[in-house]
């Protein structure tokens, strides 16, 4: 097998490599702190072996002052190490926070790269074919790990052989007793890892499912309550939540059990070393100071192992979060940098467009996915100033076509081009102002009416917002709100009716006169006045040179279009001038009934 030595590291790995200097600083500080940890044992040894035997108060004062100074220096280094680890977390947020949030916005659009890191990330999370639940949450998990005691324990564990060597120097018996305890603790650590690894993956998957159920219930609270679904839906949540709580409890019990055993073992081992030292002191093979120092050294040598066991759940969670986050961000980082292109002005060309969705194979085996076709071989072209009405039965693929036209779904085959450039080659931030999109389910955001219409653009002018509202025929409605354009509409626009939300969504789609405007069921919630405003808006945008794609079941939405496209069972049935296509379709339907 050929290994690609030029393979680019994932964004997470790249940032961690940039932080090698900071990690090296933590290791160096940890080395000095571990050396300073000898202050206590050496101080006790000197007090027992020199001060008490010589009854020298000046020696005691000098040793106490020296120990006090070293302890103060140790405390300073501990603060420095904690701050370095905190800054590592801040750097992770600075470098990965933006890409992680971009991934959050892109993940709901589906696997834009089939079989890519998004699916692999789901498998890392322990679920079947699920993407990372929340890259932002994974990043927070990493930051919390670095801000905690886990990295400190990892940096201190390599010093275990050093402390054991000192114990062997005191006396081999002391070293063998401590070594036996260290081996037992290391075995406990490895057992903890083996037992918790898979359970932590299940917990991550169940946590995602719980979050999905809560969010879906919140968004559909009215329907759930009105149709008496609350009990059944709550039962479904309780089922998932029960499994989550049970796995959490078992993981907590396992981790707590290992932590308790390791703690008791360390105490017992410390006493065993003390007893061994006392026996050696009785036989005059060691001094009383060595007896006390050996007990303290044993406790210090095994403390990092015990701490690592106590924080092992966090370590596993951080490792899995880093793996998921790396796979997701690597998938998005693989997108080629798009060359800046001028805003489209001339035409839309769709050639051989086919779309498909992935779903689990009937076998249910992990990794078995079936590709379900949605659209097949759709081709048509529109010039500036043209508008097409897309009609067809429910489930024909009309909304999927809309998503492909605005670039949120990647084609299985075929192309969507604006002015000859494939839409996937455009930078989305540069193309976005040229796209107007009104999805079937209109989603507004917590903010003011003006901010929603302006797409939260920081440089939006009041005149542009008002122009879009007037074009959508919603200006008077907005002015009737308590604070006009400054009215906060709440999450999802909850203070507005469905028709008001749809008209505001239309104004947002028309903001700054985009070139390609795709409207999916734009009149589904409109009254007669709203439909009249919609027809006027379509006609006005055609005059400005925009291309409009209007998906509709109700024929009123097609009053201002000049072309009609008919889709049935995912295939193009007819495309051409509106009246001609509608006449042919009507005649065919009558003939089929006859």
Please give the distance of CA 509 from its chain centroid, rounded to a whole number: 28
Would you state the pLDDT for residue 414?
93
| 361 has pLDDT over 60 | no
Distance separating alpha carbons of residues 278 and 164, to the nearest angstrom: 18
* Residue 25 vs residues 87, 118, 143, 149, 247: alpha-carbon distances, Å: 12, 34, 18, 16, 38
Residue pLDDT, tens place only, 313-323: 778 888 888 88
Distance separating alpha carbons of residues 343 and 514, to the nearest angstrom: 10
Backbone angles phi, psi at 21, to 5 degrees: -65, -40
Residue pLDDT, tens place only, 523-570: 888 888 888 889 999 999 999 999 999 998 777 778 899 999 999 989
Backbone angles phi, psi at 311, to 5 degrees: -105, 20
Would you state the pLDDT for residue 236?
82
Q: How confident is the model at residue 195 (pLDDT cuts 50, 70, 90)?
A: confident
Asked if domains 11-332 and 347-446+515-593 share a fold, the reply is no
Backbone angles phi, psi at 483, to 5 degrees: -115, 20
| 113 has pLDDT over 80 | no
| 4 has pLDDT over 70 | no
User: Do residues 347 and 230 touch, judged by C-beta distance below 8 A?
Assistant: no
Would you state the pLDDT for residue 336?
57
Burial call 83-98: b when 16+ CB within 10 Å, e when fewer: ebbebbbebbbebbbe
Residue pLDDT, tens place only, 259-296: 787 778 877 887 888 888 888 888 888 888 888 888 88
Residue pLDDT, tens place only, 40-94: 888 888 888 888 887 888 888 998 999 999 999 999 998 999 889 888 888 888 8
Would you state the pLDDT for residue 541?
94
Q: How confident is the model at residue 513 (pLDDT cuts 50, 70, 90)?
A: very high
| 310 has pLDDT over 80 | no
Q: 347-446+515-593 — its CATH code?
A: 3.40.50.300
Judged by DSSP in three states, 525 sits in: coil
CATH 1.10.1660.10 fits 11-332, yes or no: no
| 517 has pLDDT over 90 | yes
User: Do residues 146 and 89 touch, judged by C-beta distance below 8 A?
Assistant: yes
Dihedral-angle region of residue 493 (phi above 0 means left; psi in -120 to 50 means alpha; beta otherwise): left
Domain ranges of the chain: 11-332, 347-446+515-593
Would you state the pLDDT for residue 7?
53
């Amino acid at each position: 097998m050929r290994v690609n030595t030029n393979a680019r590291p994932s964004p997470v790995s790249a940032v961690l490599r940039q932080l090698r200097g900071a990690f090296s600083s933590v290791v160096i500080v940890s080395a000095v702190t571990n050396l300073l940890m000898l202050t206590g044992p050496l101080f006790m040894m000197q007090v027992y072996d020199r001060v008490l035997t010589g009854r020298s108060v000046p020696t005691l004062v000098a040793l106490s002052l020296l120990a006090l100074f070293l302890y103060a220096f140790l405390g300073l280094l501990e603060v420095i190490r904690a701050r370095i680890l905190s800054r590592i977390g801040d750097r992770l947020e600075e470098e990965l926070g933006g890409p992680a949030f971009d991934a959050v916005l892109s993940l709901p659009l589906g696997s834009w790269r089939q079989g890519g890191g998004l699916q692999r990330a789901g498998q890392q999370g322990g679920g079947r074919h699920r993407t990372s639940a929340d890259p932002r949450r994974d990043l927070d998990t990493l930051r919390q790990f670095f801000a905690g005691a886990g990295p400190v324990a990892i940096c201190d564990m390599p010093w275990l052989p050093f402390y054991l060597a000192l114990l062997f120097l005191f006396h081999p018996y002391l070293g063998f007793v401590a070594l036996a305890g260290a081996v037992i603790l290391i075995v406990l650590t490895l057992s903890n890892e083996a037992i918790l690894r898979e359970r932590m993956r299940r917990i991550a998957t169940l946590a995602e499912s719980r979050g999905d159920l809560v969010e879906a219930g919140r968004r559909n609270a009215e329907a759930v309550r009105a149709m008496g679904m609350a009990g059944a839906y709550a039962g479904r949540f309780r089922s998932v939540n029960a499994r989550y709580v049970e796995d959490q409890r078992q993981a907590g019990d396992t981790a707590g059990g290992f932590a308790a055993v390791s703690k008791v073992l360390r105490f017992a081992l410390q006493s065993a070393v003390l007893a061994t030292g006392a026996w050696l002191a009785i036989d005059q093979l060691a001094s009383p100071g060595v007896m006390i120092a050996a007990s303290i050294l044993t406790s210090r040598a095994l403390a990092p192992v015990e701490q690592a066991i106590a924080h092992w759940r966090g370590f596993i969670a951080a490792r899995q979060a880093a793996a998921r986050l790396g796979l997701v961000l690597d998938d998005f980082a693989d997108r080629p940098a798009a060359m800046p292109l001028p805003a489209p002005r001339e035409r839309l060309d769709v050639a051989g467009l086919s779309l498909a969705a992935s779903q689990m194979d009937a076998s249910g085996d992990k990794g078995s996915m079936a590709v379900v076709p949605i659209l097949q071989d759709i081709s048509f072209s529109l010039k500036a100033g043209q508008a097409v009405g897309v009609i067809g039965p429910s489930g024909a693929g009309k909304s999927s076509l809309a998503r492909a036209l605005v670039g949120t779904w990647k084609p299985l085959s075929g192309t969507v081009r604006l002015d000859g450039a494939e839409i996937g080659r455009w930078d989305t931030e540069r193309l976005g102002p040229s796209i107007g999109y009104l999805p079937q389910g209109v989603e507004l955001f917590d903010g003011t009416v003006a901010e929603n219409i302006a797409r939260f653009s920081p440089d939006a002018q009041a005149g542009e917002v008002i122009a879009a509202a007037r074009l959508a025929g919603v200006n008077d409605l907005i002015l009737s709100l308590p604070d006009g354009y400054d009215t906060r509409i709440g999450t999802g626009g909850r203070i507005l009716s469905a028709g008001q939300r749809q008209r505001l969504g239309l104004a947002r789609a028309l903001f700054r006169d985009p070139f390609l405007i795709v409207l999916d069921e734009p009149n589904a919630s409109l009254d007669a006045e709203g439909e009249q405003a919609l027809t006027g808006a379509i006609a006005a945008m055609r005059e400005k040179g925009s291309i409009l794609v209007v998906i509709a079941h109700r024929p009123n939405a097609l009053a201002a279009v000049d072309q009609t496209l008919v889709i049935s069972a995912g295939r193009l049935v007819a495309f051409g001038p509106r009246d001609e296509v509608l006449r042919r379709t009507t005649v065919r339907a009558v003939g089929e009934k006859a």
